[in-house]
Each structure stands twice: as structure tokens, then as C-alpha cells.
Amino acid sequence: MRSSMRALLGERRRDDGAAAVEFALLLPIFVLLIFGGISAATIYWHSISQAQGARDAARYGATLPLSSAATPAPGEVTIDDWLNKVSQVALREAGIGDRDGDGTIDAADVAAVDGYICTAFVKGTASTHLVTTKSLTISAATGPATTDPCIASDGAPASVDRVQVIVKRDEEFQAILFAKRLTPQATSVQPYQRGIK
């Protein structure tokens, strides 16, 4: 009986060693999957936020009253104010927010997350108002507003006034053993729905 107990205990000790070796071999793969999954989920969450920010900003811009007058009537805004207001909605809704705590969402906040926002009003060929195509880009290397649209070809009829918004944010997918830089992009185009005075 004693010899059978010793044999049983010896067999059990050999199995314990095999389990430890299997655990040591599988642990790095398990950790890689966990951290990779968390990183991928974060990138996906930011991508959804960017898409929501671009859509919300384009919808807001499509209904914000725009004026071609130097001094707009109450409730209307100039093209420069319009670009700033639409960009602020895109920045806020895309989850970029006030990163440096200065009370405003600006180029420093966008640079802190390696972001890029381009907001444009594109004048349609059938329009007779004085407001011209103009865009505002906010990124790490922010320049002045330009007359270039954000999107060269957006698929909308050329005769229609429209709002274009692009939101990008550089992300880094990390899975312990390797990392990859990704740049998800969200684009939204809406026809401008208000008359321009």
C-alpha cells in the first residue's frame, strides 16, 4: 500500500510541473490578447466618437444661419464665425475636448491627441449669394482658414451648397510585443439647409 501511495504522489508531482510549464508558455499569449483587445477597443471607441463628432458638426453647420453681410443680423454669423462654431462642435463631440485646461478647445488640444479637424462651407454652382467656399483646418500645424474644401470630391451635386467635416485622430495599437500606428478618419457631408442673406 505504501509503495502505491508513493507512486501516486510521485505521479502527481510530475503533473504539477507540467501544468506550471504549460502556464508559463501560455501566459504571454494570454497577456498579448488581453492588452491587444483593450487597445483595439479603445481605438474603436475613439473611431465611433469621431464619426459622431463629424456627423453632429455637419448637421449643426447645415442649420446655422450664415450671412454674407459684413455685420450680420441678430442670430446670423459670418463665414469665419460659422467655421469656428462648427469646428468647436466637431472637437467637442469627437471627444478631443479641452486637454490643456485653458477653457477653450484649440490647436493645442488637437495636437495633444495628434488630431486633425477640417470644416468647410462649399458654395454650390447654382448659388447666387456672396459667401464663397472656405474651410478651417485645426491640427498640430494650424494655419489660417483657406478657400479650399476639405474633401476634393464628396459625391454631392456640385450645384448644392454643402457642409463638409473631417475628423482624424492618430492612434497607436499596442499589444505588448508590437505596436502599429493607425489613423481612423470620419467624414460627413450635409447639404446646407438655410438661406444665406
Q: What residues are paired with 137 via a beta bridge?
A: 118
- The arithmetic mean of pLDDT across residues 22-29, rounded, is 88
- Give the pLDDT score at 142: 53
Q: Output the CA angle 39-40-43, nearest 5 degrees.
A: 90
3-state secondary structure 14-57: HHHHHHHHHHHHHHHHHHHHHHHHHHHHHHHHHHHHHHHHHHHH
Whether the predicted pLDDT of 124 surpasses 60: yes
Q: Output the CA angle 48-54-58, nearest 5 degrees.
A: 145
List the alpha helices (DSSP H) in the chain: 2-63, 79-93, 107-112
Residue with cell 462651407: 121
Dump pLDDT digits (tens) for 138-172: 886 655 566 777 888 888 888 888 999 999 888 88
Selected residue with higher pLDDT from 176 and 179: 179
Give pTM, 2 decimals. 0.79
Whether the predicted pLDDT of 9 surpasses 60: no
Instruction: For the chain, give the mean pLDDT.
Output: 83
Q: How confident is the model at residue 4 (pLDDT cuts 50, 70, 90)?
A: low
Q: How confident is the model at residue 182 (pLDDT cuts 50, 70, 90)?
A: confident
Whether the predicted pLDDT of 55 surpasses 90: yes
Element (H, E) at 169: strand 162-169
Query: 158: which DSSP letter?
Result: T
